[in-house]
């Protein structure tokens, strides 16, 4: 080992630290402005249709957004709120309110009518309150939750909602990826959340036909509010404001209080009827898979239909152990496997990939590095085993489409002219170890090990496209080829296309310089592009997890892999004895329930005990060809058996399958 510090591994302490990191002291309420997203999804995905030709773009867009939200935000309580049909109290205040809005498009109407029921089936409480708008219901729920000390996330694209933001309420726009807290509102609008109503009243709202001060735009409104603090202050000092805009302000004074009332979101809507149990009425539930399957088939959502049918089969298997639901984790799985609408990162106009093989080219590269603040970096080596890999080449990207490749370990037939490895590393070392120069890559932990093999500490790691992908889509693959196709819309040059396969595969050191440069430079370039694009897709919580958990933990893992760990064998022995005693207890419970001892590790004996002797029903279980009834799947579901024998069997199997560390199986 190159360094002497060691990590003392105590499982109890480690897992308590990890679990405490994710413990939330207060519940989170997730509120969705369904009406806002309905129209936005309609315009974004107008071309989608069901097998019978019925339009489905709005339905698909909103449901997909809800799936993403449920996966991205940890919450136990939620609601999707829609505007009620007809006029509301604002029309009584101002008959021309929203008078300029066109009627709902004919092809949107059937989707709007079907959406609330689909949302309910997905496990979301739905609220539609007559005489008020969705904004007012959301405002009231946010106020209720805030008073209870809860955290609130409001998903909306409506700027009016910014007035709700406070220490506990945050806005998120899933269409743009924008998240607004108090500072975010200030940065976007130039005013505090408590000034948003003043801001909107001064400008008016053409979409809702709310009158404002003529020719008063955002800059003017911000200027006035900075000077006078509020709408009341602006009105009080109206005579001091000169010029045409001052005249317009004077003319608007009589109607400004009305405009202020029109843009004010209510926080006191009577919801006692709808929320008979208060906020507890908004607890999330599991999807109704059988009903969803019917609707998904009707609307032509084939991938979601397969998921629903799969969940139905799992639920049927759950009946074996006395449960007809598959539980909350399975509900999460549906949203986690969401089909996202991917927006590819913009591609550069041209590619500039260069090989660095001369001292003059290398000097120019070093000069450029000294001026850079961020680079993409990748290594080409002789082995996938990082700690035993030798350097073949280094690629560095400076911006999208611009990268270089420095060959240092190619064969002379492949690269006749290349720089000396030690000279290159010696000159690069100050830049690689400079923490101020940000490094971006794909699985940079591997490259850290490779550089460490040569005595170089790769500092300043600021992003990793593989880890960023995991944060956003943990259920999908995270290889560079797959990520590039998915997020950049580009195919990569594959290793096999250069080096071949099987017995005839050559090493990268034997790849000609032209092909090697294109391949290696592309790796660094695409990693740099991907990380920036994936980072932009993250919401605030994902970004925090990425920067404060994933990237730092990768560094801890690097140190552990590099230096090894010191194991507290005494603690492991204590835990092993404790778990062993629990295992023996569970085995005895299973034997007692079965009325005889048997081999818990034998599927055949377990089947005979459960199904033949104890008569546990097999309804809903699909028997595979030449196999017994499945015995492990019910244990892996969120549903759990209630009969003593299978319950003990599941716990025993789970413990054995986890292969916990013990003094006997830990490395010496």
275 & 290 share domain? no
Asked, for residue 227, whether it belongs to a domain, the answer is yes
Domain count for the chain: 4
CA-based Rg of the chain, rounded to a whole angstrom? 31
270: domain CATH number is 3.40.50.1010
432 & 517 share domain? yes
290 & 263 share domain? no
Asked, for residue 665, whether it belongs to a domain, the answer is no
323 & 201 share domain? no
413 & 553 share domain? yes
Question: Among residues 281, 311, 344, which one ends one of the domains?
Answer: 281
Q: What confidence score (pLDDT) does residue 210 get?
A: 95
- Residue 438 phi/psi, 5-degree rounding, is -75, 135
Q: What confidence score (pLDDT) does residue 304 get?
A: 87
485 & 508 share domain? yes
Q: What confidence score (pLDDT) does residue 39 get?
A: 87
- Interaxial angle between packed helices 359-371 and 421-432, expressed in degrees from 0 to 180 and rounded to the nearest 10: 10
362 & 495 share domain? yes
Q: What confidence score (pLDDT) does residue 335 get?
A: 44
- Residue 482 phi/psi, 5-degree rounding, is -65, -45
638: domain CATH number is 1.20.1060.10
538 & 584 share domain? no
Asked, for residue 2, whether it belongs to a domain, the answer is no
Kindly list the averaged pLDDT for each block of 10 residues, start to end, along the chain of length 668. Answer: 35 37 65 90 77 89 87 87 92 92 90 94 94 95 94 92 95 83 94 96 93 93 95 94 92 95 95 90 90 92 86 60 40 43 71 95 96 96 92 96 96 91 96 96 96 96 95 85 87 89 89 94 96 91 93 94 85 85 84 79 77 69 48 44 55 54 55
Integer CA distances (angstroms), 315 to 326, 415, 475, in order: 5, 60, 21
Asked, for residue 345, whether it belongs to a domain, the answer is no
Cβ contact 461:439 at 8 Å: yes
Q: Which two tokens stand for residue 169?
A: 């309420």
189 & 77 share domain? yes
Asked, for residue 73, whether it belongs to a domain, the answer is yes
Question: Among residues 301, 336, 371, which one ends one of the domains?
Answer: 336
Q: Which two tokens stand for residue 511?
A: 């790849």
Asked, for residue 668, whether it belongs to a domain, the answer is no
Question: Among residues 218, 251, 281, which one ends one of the domains?
Answer: 281
How far apart are the C-alpha atoms of 559 and 3, rounded to whole Å? 9
Q: Cβ contacts of residue 544 below 8 Å, gap of 6+?
A: none
461 & 553 share domain? yes
Asked, for residue 517, whether it belongs to a domain, the answer is yes
- Closest CA relative to residue 128, chosen from 142, 144, 112: 112
How far apart are the C-alpha atoms of 361 and 237, rounded to whole Å? 65
How far apart are the C-alpha atoms of 45 and 64, rounded to whole Å? 12
131 & 214 share domain? yes
Helix (H, G, I), strand (E, B) or coil at 528: helix
Q: What confidence score (pLDDT) does residue 634 get?
A: 42
The residue segments making up the domain with residue 654 are: 570-658
Q: What confidence score (pLDDT) does residue 253 get?
A: 95
86 & 131 share domain? yes
């Amino acid at each position: 080992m190159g360094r002497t510090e060691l990590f003392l591994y105590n499982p109890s302490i480690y897992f308590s630290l990890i679990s405490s990191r994710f413990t939330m002291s207060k519940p989170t309420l997730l509120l969705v402005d369904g009406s806002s997203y309905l129209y936005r999804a309609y315009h974004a995905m107008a071309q989608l249709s069901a097998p019978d030709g019925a339009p489905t773009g709005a339905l698909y867009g909103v449901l997909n957004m809800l799936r993403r939200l449920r996966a991205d935000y940890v919450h136990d309580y939620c609601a999707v709120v829609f505007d009620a049909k007809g006029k509301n109290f604002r029309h009584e205040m101002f008959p021309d309110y929203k008078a300029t809005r066109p009627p709902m498009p004919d092809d949107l109407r059937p989707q709007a009518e079907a959406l609330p029921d689909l949302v309910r089936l997905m496990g979301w409480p739905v609220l539609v309150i007559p005489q008020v708008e969705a904004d007012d219901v959301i405002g009231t729920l946010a106020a209720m939750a805030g008073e209870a000390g809860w955290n609130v996330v409001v998903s909306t694209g409506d700027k009016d909602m910014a007035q709700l933001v406070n220490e506990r309420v945050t806005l998120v726009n899933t269409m743009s990826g924008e998240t607004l807290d108090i500072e975010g509102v200030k940065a976007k609008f130039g005013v505090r959340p408590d000034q948003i109503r003043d801001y909107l009243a001064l400008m008016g709202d053409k979409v809702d036909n709310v009158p404002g001060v003529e020719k008063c735009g955002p800059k003017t409104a911000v200027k006035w509010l900075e000077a006078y603090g509020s709408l009341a202050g602006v009105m009080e000092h109206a005579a001091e404001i000169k010029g045409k805009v001052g005249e317009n302000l004077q003319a608007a004074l009589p109607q400004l209080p009305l405009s202020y009332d029109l843009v004010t979101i209510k926080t006191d809507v009577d919801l006692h009827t709808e929320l008979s149990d208060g906020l507890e009425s908004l607890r999330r539930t599991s999807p109704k898979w059988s009903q969803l399957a019917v609707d998904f088939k009707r609307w032509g959502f084939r991938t979601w239909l397969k998921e629903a049918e799969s969940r139905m089969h799992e639920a049927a298997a759950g009946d074996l152990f006395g449960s007809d639901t598959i539980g909350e984790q399975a509900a999460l799985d549906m949203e986690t496997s969401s089909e996202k609408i991917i927006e590819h990162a913009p591609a550069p106009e041209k590619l500039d990939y260069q090989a660095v093989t001369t001292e003059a080219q290398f000097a120019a590269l070093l000069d450029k590095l000294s001026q850079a603040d961020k680079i993409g970096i990748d290594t080409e080596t002789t082995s996938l085993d990082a700690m035993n890999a030798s350097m073949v080449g280094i690629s560095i990207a400076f911006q999208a489409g611009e990268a270089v490749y420095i060959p240092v370990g190619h064969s002379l037939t492949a690269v006749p002219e290349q720089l000396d490895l030690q000279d290159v590393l010696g000159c690069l070392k100050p830049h690689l170890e400079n923490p101020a120069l940000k490094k971006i890559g794909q699985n940079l932990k591997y490259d850290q090990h490779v550089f460490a093999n040569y005595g170089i500490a790769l500092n300043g790691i600021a992003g990793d496209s593989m880890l960023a992908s995991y944060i956003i889509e943990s259920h999908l693959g995270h290889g560079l080829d797959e990520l590039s196709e998915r997020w950049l819309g580009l195919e990569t040059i594959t290793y096999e296309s250069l080096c071949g396969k099987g017995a005839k595969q050559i090493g990268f050191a034997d790849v000609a310089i032209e092909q090697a440069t294109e391949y290696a430079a592309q790796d660094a370039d695409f990693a740099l592009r991907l990380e920036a694009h994936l980072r932009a897709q993250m919401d605030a919580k994902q970004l925090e997890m990425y920067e404060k958990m994933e990237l730092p933990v990768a560094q801890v893992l690097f140190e552990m892999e590099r230096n090894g760990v010191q194991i507290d064998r005494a603690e492991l022995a204590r835990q092993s004895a404790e778990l062993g005693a629990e295992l023996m207890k569970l085995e005895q419970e299973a034997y007692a329930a079965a009325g005889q001892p048997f081999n818990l590790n034998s599927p055949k004996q377990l089947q005979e005990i459960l199904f033949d002797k104890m008569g546990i029903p097999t309804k809903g279980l699909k028997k595979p060809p030449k196999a017994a009834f499945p015995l492990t799947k019910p244990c892996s579901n969120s549903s759990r058996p209630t009969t003593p024998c299978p319950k003990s069997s599941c716990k025993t199997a789970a413990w054995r399958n986890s292969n916990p560390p013990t003094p006997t199986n830990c490395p010496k």
